[in-house]
Amino acid sequence: MMDTVATLKGLRCPQCGSEDLDVNGKAGSMGKEIAGVFLGGAIANLAVSNSASKNVETVPLTYTCKNCKHKFQSFPLAAQQEDILATPCTISFTRVSSFVGALVAQVVYLNGVNCGAVKNGNTITLQTSNRWNTMFVTDQYGVAFKSVYRFEAVPGGTVAVRFKRKFVE
């Protein structure tokens, strides 16, 4: 039995059918971010960051349609067989070192799946079996940064990605 390969390709707004979507992050994440500010800033950030690194899972994410502004939640979709690579592509994700937010882990999502937290200045290696890929990053509360990286993977290929509050070349 083959594992299901997750994708965001084909995800559409349930109201207007548009595929032009903004990723907002995990469902309920905005409330957690506000609570973290009230809990005491950096100390609360460290506590939440520590739990984020143990939180590798698929959860519903929230999206906003750029066309009609409708907000909705969805799990990732199952990739079509013709979009699954025969040999996985390797992704090297580097979080560029920065003084701003240095103590806070950021969580990397690939095709809607939480791939784990990455600390300031660190690199993680991921693999994808999906031809069409969408990568985004959330803060420790699950709120997505506005920058989204979409790319086409090739069988056995490699992709290097750099992130500093947005995807950079």
Q: What per-residue confidence (pLDDT) applies to 61?
A: 92
89 within a domain of the structure (yes/no): yes
Report field, pTM of the whole predicted structure over 0.85: no
Taking residues 128-139, report their average pLDDT.
94
The whole-number average pLDDT for the span 34-46 is 40
Arithmetic mean of pLDDT, 104-124: 92
Residue 103: pLDDT band by 50, 70, 90 thresholds?
confident
Range of the domain at 65: 6-168
Q: In this predicted structure, what is the pLDDT of residue 166?
A: 87
- The β-bridge relationship of strands 84-95 and 123-130 is antiparallel
Give yes or no for residue 159 having a pLDDT over 90: yes
13 is a domain residue: yes
- pLDDT for 48 equals 37
Res. 100 pLDDT band, cuts 50 70 90: confident
pLDDT value at residue 73: 95
- Does the structure show a pLDDT above 70 at 108? yes
Does position 101 have pLDDT exceeding 90, yes or no? no
| Domains of the chain: total | 1
Average pLDDT, integer, range 3-25? 92
Q: Which long-range contacts (CB under 8 A, 24 or more apart) does 112-117 make?
A: 112/6, 112/7, 112/8, 112/58, 112/61, 112/75, 112/76, 113/6, 113/58, 113/76, 114/55, 114/56, 114/57, 114/58, 114/59, 115/56, 116/53, 116/56, 117/49, 117/52, 117/53, 117/55
104 has a pLDDT exceeding 90: no
Q: What is the pLDDT of residue 38?
A: 41
Does 1 reside within a domain? no
- Is residue 44 a part of any domain in this protein? yes
